[in-house]
């Protein structure tokens, strides 16, 4: 791991301050670094466009939160580059390394002692009149939801091209195990262990209360057809990318052919994260 990419959360002062010490430390150890151009400009050093960092790196360090990690996982795509997330904010589910353990975690990463967790990702295709108008890869979730002032929307759900149900709801979440602790959890979905090979369908405020979340194997093809005539219905991907939908648009979701490779700090305890983040056991 000689070539190290570094991508930071923007708009906060901590990452550039950390890099003032981390970059010389890595250089002293003989490593080549590539810093995203936004952060590099603050440090007055040469930077690289974020989109170019995966092709220049053997590993990527993320200084930020879960949102930054989601962005980088989509950016890496099919390149299979491992990612180490160092948490800069509140406790994260995928940026698990606390700030005060950053050097210990990076040392273990450079020594090849950090295990890699492979996380399921999803591919989402949007079809309009039978033609593809968009293709995305996500780590957390694909969400169809209504605008702020819209009424409930009508969706048809198919699995492996077989009709499942018509859904009247505020929307529908298609989630990976990693994303099961995000929007899906808030909508009443189950928590899945992050390395499972499963997909969760979670309705958002369904009109019929018997429409409940369902866990599916990861080898299915899920098709969601928007039947509502209104144009204030949106597709959101990892909560970061938005796409306006029209009546009869089809959202086809299936397992991505590649997985996110997340480097795990050796003392990781997922259940401790759940206890801390979700306040389990507190009275």
For the annotated catalytic residues, the residue numbers are 66
Burial of 137 (0-12, 13-18, 19+ CB in 10 A): buried
Match 């589910």 to its residue by tokens.
Answer: 93
Q: CA torsion 16→20→26→32, rounded to 10°?
A: 60
Quote the tokens at residue 51: 């989109």
User: Crossing angle for the helix pair 102-110 and 14-28, nearest 10 degrees?
Assistant: 40
Distance from C-alpha of 72 to C-alpha of 54, rounded to nearest angstrom: 9
Contact 4, 61 (CB under 8 A): yes
Q: Are strands 171-175 and 141-146 parallel, antiparallel or unpaired?
A: antiparallel
């Amino acid at each position: 791991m000689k070539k190290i990419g570094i991508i930071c959360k923007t708009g906060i002062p901590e990452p550039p301050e950390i890099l003032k010490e981390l970059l010389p430390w890595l250089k002293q150890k003989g490593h080549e670094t590539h810093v995203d151009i936004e952060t590099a400009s603050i440090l007055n050093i040469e930077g690289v466009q974020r989109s170019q960092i995966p092709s220049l790196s053997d590993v990527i360090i993320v200084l930020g939160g879960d949102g930054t990690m989601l962005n980088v996982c989509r950016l890496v795509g099919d390149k299979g580059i491992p990612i180490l997330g160092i948490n800069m904010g509140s406790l994260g589910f995928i940026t698990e390394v606390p700030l005060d353990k950053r050097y210990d975690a990076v040392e273990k990463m450079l020594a090849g002692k950090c295990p890699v967790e492979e996380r399921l990702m999803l591919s989402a295709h949007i079809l309009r009149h039978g033609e593809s108008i968009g293709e995305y890869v996500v780590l957390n979730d694909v969400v169809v939801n209504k605008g702020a002032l819209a009424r409930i929307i009508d969706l048809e759900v198919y699995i492996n091209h077989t009709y499942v149900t018509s859904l009247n709801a505020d929307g529908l979440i298609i989630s990976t195990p990693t994303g099961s602790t995000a929007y899906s959890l808030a909508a009443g979905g189950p928590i899945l262990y992050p390395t499972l090979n499963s997909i969760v369908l979670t309705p958002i405020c369904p009109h019929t209360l018997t429409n409940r979340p369902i866990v599916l194997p990861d080898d299915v093809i899920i098709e969601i057809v928007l039947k509502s005539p209104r144009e204030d219905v949106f597709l959101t991907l990892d909560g970061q990318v938005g796409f306006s939908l029209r009546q009869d648009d089809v959202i086809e979701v299936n397992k991505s052919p590649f997985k996110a490779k997340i480097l795990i700090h050796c003392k990781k305890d997922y259940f401790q994260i759940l206890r801390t983040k979700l306040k389990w056991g507190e009275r």
